Amino acid sequence: MSTDITRITDTKKDSASIYHQTKPYSRVNSRKLGDETIPWTTAKIKDELVTELALATVYVMNEQYGCTYILFKYYEKAAYWMYRIPVYRPPPIFDIDLRDLSTKLRHELAELKKSDGGMFCYVIKTAVAHIFENINFEYFHRSVMRHLKITFICTSSEVEKNN
């Protein structure tokens, strides 16, 4: 048994081939039992929400210089509101656009809200907190966290689909 472990760790080729044989985490969660997919855990929902918020981008065209800037939407928003949320009365609300979230994540969030509203609020707040913590961890926890309010916004076309 120990010879197998040393053989695997000795050569880069063997460890690389073993790495490529493992399945990605997302495939494990997309398995099906009969007709239903396996529901995500709250940790998976939070991780996916953090990832999708962190990767949401906005393209801004600068016509004067003829270049395009790629901005990370929620990092820019968090940086803008970080030092304003504790000062403004009433504190501003941090909006999350539903169009920035995948259909699967929106479905899992809806199921979580139906089953446990308190856990839904916790997952949303901690996911958004990760974005703020990456900007200024100490200031966020001392001044911003207690004032942070989050809401989801959607376009009128999405509201019509849900009705």
* pLDDT tens by residue, 11-67: 444 444 444 333 344 444 445 544 457 889 999 999 999 999 999 999 999 888 889
* C-alpha torsion sign, points 79, 81, 87, 91: negative
pTM: 0.71
Q: What are residue 11's phi and psi, to 5 degrees?
A: -110, 140
Question: Which amino acid is it at 11?
Answer: T
| Non-local CB neighbours of 70 within 8 Å, separated by 6+ positions | 57, 58, 59, 60
Paired strand residues for 58? 71
113-155 confidence digits (pLDDT tens): 999 999 999 999 999 999 999 999 999 999 999 999 999 998 6
DSSP-derived 3-state class of residue 77: helix
Query: From CA 36, how far away is CA 39, in angstroms rounded?
Result: 9
